[in-house]
Amino acid sequence: MSRGRGCTQANRYRTATIAFLAIGLACSLFVATGGSLAADELEAKVARWKSDYDSRVLPIIRERCLPCHNGEKAEGELNLARFSTGDKAWEAADAWERVARRIRLNEMPPQGSPGLNDQQKGAFQRWVDNRPNQDLCRQLASEDTQSWYRGYVMSRRLTRIEYRNAIRDLLGITPSASELPPEDGAGGEGFDTVGDSLFTSTIHLEAWLVLADQLIDRALPEDSAGKPVPNATLSEIAPPAAWPQIQGGTPDQQTAAAIELIRQFARRAWRRPPESSEIDRLTRLFQTSLQQTTLTNALRQPLKAILVSPHFLFVVETEPNETGIFPLTPHQLATRLALFLWSSIPDEQLLSVADSGMLVDENEYRNQISRMLADPKSAALGENFGLQWLGLRNFENIRPDPQLFPEFTAELASDLREEAVQMVTSVFRDNRPLSDLLSSDVVIVNGRLAAHYGLPLPPAADWQKIAVTDGRRGGVATLGAVLTAASYPRRTSPVLRGRWLLDELLGNPVPPPPPGVPPLEQATPENAHLTLRQRLEAHRLKPECAACHDRMDPLGFGLENFDPIGRWREQDGELPIDAAGKLPSGEQFSGPAELKSILLSRQHDFLNHLSRKLLGFALGRELNKFDACIVETAVKRLHKEGLQSRVLIEEIACSYPFRNRYYKKSEPTPPPPESRSTRLFNALRKFAEKSEAVRKQNEAAKQPVTPPQP
């Protein structure tokens, strides 16, 4: 890599001790900062930027923005009154990018309010563009760099999908949806990989326990002679010589081979070489069981224990007992990489590379990334990242009206979902340009879906890529699943679809309607004859509505040729479809093909947003200002290298926060209160018992309530 970022730092820690590392890191930080801007030069720039705010920008804001964006109940929850000085404006440096973009696109101030003149616009934009750059690429949020920092959870349990995939890779058996623990919610940038929003309840543990029990029994059945016979996947985990010895060796050979099986299984499941004390405990479990049950069943016990252990179920990144930023160990890094690209645990090859220490070698690390993306398991990028990003995770819960749309069968729903998975997967697996996600001449469909879309393919045809030329299909915005999810059960909604494009695709969220705004589609006797489009247009005449609906509605109308289940249509009932739109920027378009050109012209917003999303997914946390640099660098490199998806994956996997972790030494908290709360509980109970007599007296004194008559 040319910029000295990312992977090169890794070479250092092959021989280094932890203490040395800390110093090494500090040095590299120093060098990096020195390379970009000398400290005093930066300071001067910042001072100039602040004074420009006071003299040039603040007057504009006072005149044009503060009437609405003022105080605690400010429009769009953006209170610009807070930034009363250059110093305060500097503290919120990130917010200005958003403000500038809205002004640039003529979205703000909204239609009906006095806008900025060209001179004011120019002054504002220049000021934002001149924001002095800090080098944030080699920093992490920590208590030194962010005063509010409270640490973030990285030690978390596996998500439902990660657990399913890990079991599949370990045992060759994929648990069914109804066997798995419940679905997970999301946090951070909107993904379930965020530790803060992953919780463990009793029903999780019950599912893990029952599955470990049933699946190990299935993967390691007993033959008629009472010998354990592993299935294909399990037999590959222990060395080839081990199984014959377990099945027919002397007791000593048997024990030795069993230990070897336990060691290898624990290594794979726990993503690291198990410690000898851990092997000893697992072996004891085997040997104790052997006294009570059959050989096969005794052998199963340690394997089950391995799958119920927190070492398997939790992504644990233990650290040296010091405060500071430390690189992940090779095994921790391998796990993060496998969770990122496969939503699963490392395979044998990745684990061996981690064992050998070679994973810190830049070339080897990149080789592994390439190999893993080519592996079928990278379909997880589509299924896990893709569906969450597109808001389709719960697609099976979307039920269009069965009377209006009897065609929407469970099979069709599953095809629509699968198409979304395959589209995202193929962009990453085939190293396609990310712009394919906005617009593409290729769709991936099977026969049933092709019929739904009106594409020529025999009904029984399997999944395949076919070329489309009319611009109607291709890209995520015209995925049947997206169009269905952003509709009501019985009709389309240009507002919902427009909101989806802005929010999920361009990263430009629309605030909820402010209280007191008249409802959107209010039908009165006077306007009952109006079409939805006309009523929306009337609604947009009010400035407080226009601010958002001018952005959402036209985009959504561009998709009106798709019915509520994503089929092409020229008419809605009696009326011909009008798929024309005009954006606040003045751009005009009609229909999906031209809409996609508009989206492509905002490719930069899209790339920024997608990069943020993928980084948030990979890191499993909310992004902060230090992460902006990763996104910026990735987008720059994407533009240079033809938007190839591999670039984004590499930039994230090589990024500083992906490979390092902030660790805060803390006094260990006592384990969940046992004795203390027991004492409290018992005291409470005693007290309650004592007061029984009093209660009875009170009861007797009370007016009795008549019991209900049966």
Partner 1 sequence: MKNHTRRSLLRGTSVALGLPFLASCRQSSIATAAPLSNSTSTKPPLRAAFIYFPNGVWEKSWIPENTGPDYTLSPTLQPLAEVRQHTLVLTGLDKKHSHGGDGHYAKTANFLTGMPVAKTTGKNISSGGISIDQLIAQYTSQFTPLPSLELGTEPVISGIDSNVGYTRLYGSHISWQSPSRPVAREINPRLVYERLFSRRLAGQTAKAAEFQNLLDFVLEDASQLRGKLGRDDQFKLDEYLDSVRAVERRIEFASKPRPAGWEPGSPAETQPPAPGIPADFREHITLMLDLLVLAFRTDSTRVASMMFANDVSGRNFSFVDGVTGSHHELSHHENNAAKISQYEAINRWHVAQFAQLLKKLRDIPEGDGSLLDHCMILFGSSISDGNRHDPDNLPILLGGSGGGSIPVGQHIASKGHTPLCNLYTSILDRMQVPVEQFGDSTGRLL
Task: Determine the Cα–Cα distance for residues 56 and 124; give it in Å rounded to an integer.
Answer: 8
Q: Which stretch binds partner 1 (CB under 8 A): 151-159, 248-256, 344-352, 555-563?
A: 151-159
The minimum distance between CB 182 and partner 1, in angstroms, equals 5
For partner 1, the closer CB: 159 or 378: 159
Task: Determine the Cα–Cα distance for residues 491 and 564; give it in Å rounded to an integer.
Answer: 6
For partner 1, the closer CB: 52 or 278: 278
Number of residues that bind partner 1 (CB under 8 A): 113
Q: What are the C-alpha distances in Å from 458 to residues 291, 451, 452?
A: 61, 8, 12
Radius of gyration of the chain (CA): 30
- Which letter, b or e, does each residue of 341-370 get, where b requires 16 or more Cβ atoms within 10 Å of its Cβ? bbbbbbbeebbebbeeebbbbeebbbebbe
Which one of 185, 226, 239, 248 is in contact with partner 1 (CB under 8 A)? 185
Which one of 200, 431, 585, 597 is in contact with partner 1 (CB under 8 A)? 200
Torsions phi, psi for 661 (to 5 deg): -145, 135
The minimum distance between CB 292 and partner 1, in angstroms, equals 8
Hey, which residues between 251 and 290 contact partner 1 (CB under 8 A)?
Answer: 281, 285, 288-289
Put residue 60 in one of left, alpha, beta given phi > 0 → left and psi -120 to 50 → alpha. alpha
Hey, which residues between 433 and 472 contact partner 1 (CB under 8 A)?
Answer: none
The minimum distance between CB 558 and partner 1, in angstroms, equals 21
Is 444 strand, coil or helix?
Answer: strand
The minimum distance between CB 684 and partner 1, in angstroms, equals 6
For residue 525, what are its two tokens?
A: 């006797």
Which one of 570, 689, 700, 701 is in contact with partner 1 (CB under 8 A)? 689
Which one of 355, 364, 622, 632 is in contact with partner 1 (CB under 8 A)? 622
Q: Is the separation of the CB atoms in 330 and 346 below 8 Å?
A: no
Q: Is the separation of the CB atoms in 437 and 422 below 8 Å?
A: no
Task: Determine the Cα–Cα distance for residues 112 and 542; give it in Å rounded to an integer.
Answer: 7
For partner 1, the closer CB: 640 or 664: 664
Could you say which DSSP state residue 492 is in?
A: B
For residue 43, what are its two tokens?
A: 């300071």
Task: Determine the Cα–Cα distance for residues 671 and 679; give it in Å rounded to an integer.
Answer: 16
Which one of 21, 42, 93, 316 is in contact with partner 1 (CB under 8 A)? 316
Q: Give the residue among 273, 141, 117, 33 at the shortest CA–CA distance from 660.
A: 141
Which one of 107, 162, 169, 319 is in contact with partner 1 (CB under 8 A)? 319
Q: Which stretch binds partner 1 (CB under 8 A): 182-190, 223-231, 367-375, 532-540?
A: 182-190
Q: What are the C-alpha distances in Å from 500 to residues 387, 390, 667?
A: 14, 9, 45
Q: Which stretch binds partner 1 (CB under 8 A): 43-51, 174-182, 352-360, 455-463?
A: 174-182
The minimum distance between CB 709 and partner 1, in angstroms, equals 7
Residue 305 binds to partner 1 (criterion: CB under 8 A): yes
Which one of 54, 97, 135, 196 is in contact with partner 1 (CB under 8 A)? 196
Could you say which DSSP state residue 182 is in?
A: P
Residue 695 CB neighbours (<10 A): 10
Hey, which residues between 518 and 537 contact partner 1 (CB under 8 A)?
Answer: 519-523
For partner 1, the closer CB: 134 or 283: 283
Which one of 456, 462, 672, 701 is in contact with partner 1 (CB under 8 A)? 672
The minimum distance between CB 156 and partner 1, in angstroms, equals 6
The minimum distance between CB 497 and partner 1, in angstroms, equals 14
- Pairing mode, if any, of strands 580-582 and 571-572? unpaired
Residue 73 binds to partner 1 (criterion: CB under 8 A): no
For partner 1, the closer CB: 165 or 368: 165
Q: Is the separation of the CB atoms in 110 and 546 below 8 Å?
A: yes
Hey, which residues between 472 and 511 contact partner 1 (CB under 8 A)?
Answer: 488-490, 503, 509-511
Hey, which residues between 383 and 402 contact partner 1 (CB under 8 A)?
Answer: 388, 391, 393-394, 397-402
Residue 192 binds to partner 1 (criterion: CB under 8 A): yes
For partner 1, the closer CB: 132 or 489: 489
Which one of 69, 101, 156, 263 is in contact with partner 1 (CB under 8 A)? 156
Hey, which residues between 647 and 666 contact partner 1 (CB under 8 A)?
Answer: 663-666
Dihedral sign, Cα of residue 357, residue 363, residue 365, residue 369: negative
For residue 446, what are its two tokens?
A: 């099977």
Is 195 strand, coil or helix?
Answer: helix
Q: Which stretch binds partner 1 (CB under 8 A): 241-249, 461-469, 592-600, 667-675?
A: 667-675
The minimum distance between CB 297 and partner 1, in angstroms, equals 8
Q: Which stretch binds partner 1 (CB under 8 A): 34-42, 314-322, 344-352, 580-588?
A: 314-322
The minimum distance between CB 216 and partner 1, in angstroms, equals 11
Which one of 31, 467, 517, 684 is in contact with partner 1 (CB under 8 A)? 684
Amino acid 36 reads S
Task: Determine the Cα–Cα distance for residues 584 and 534; give it in Å rounded to an integer.
Answer: 18
Q: Give the residue among 153, 140, 142, 150 at the shortest CA–CA distance from 314.
A: 153
Residue 570 binds to partner 1 (criterion: CB under 8 A): no
